Amino acid sequence: MDSVLAELFVAENARDWATFHALLHSEVEWTLIGPDATAVVLGRSAYMDRILAAYESAPGARFSVRRSLRNEAGMVVTELIDNHGDVSIDVFDVRDGQVRRQWEFLLGSTVR
């Protein structure tokens, strides 16, 4: 797995928001694709606001990486599962040691 993402995931699970913040590009784009809606979050501040709100409503949430694939251009695909059994497929564009773009496909717990 990409070392930037490994550090990002450890920081997220540890709620180390200073480290997490530093690993995001100032103009990061985060696209969340769910079964009923898509949301686009633009910029590091908006990203942090969104993720902090998510963990405020689910303080015990944790996740692990099931699989990860990386190409030479810095694109990384991960399959994540949280402690409630919800799965997401995330595609990251990592450049110069920071996450520049993320597409998060929220699959839920009905994945087969």
Say if residue 58's pLDDT is above 80.
yes
State which residues form the domain around 58.
Answer: 3-108
Q: Which two tokens stand for residue 2?
A: 């990409």
CA dist list (Å): 92 to 30, 34, 59, 102: 9, 17, 24, 5
Q: What is the pTM of this model?
A: 0.92
Percent of the chain predicted with pLDDT > 70: 97
Say if residue 25's pLDDT is above 90.
yes
State residue 78's pLDDT score.
98
C-alpha 95/C-alpha 20 separation (Å) is: 15
Per-residue pLDDT of 59-87, as tens digits, reads 999 999 999 999 988 799 999 999 989 99
CATH for 46: 3.10.450.50
Domain count, the chain: 1
Percent of the chain predicted with pLDDT > 90: 88
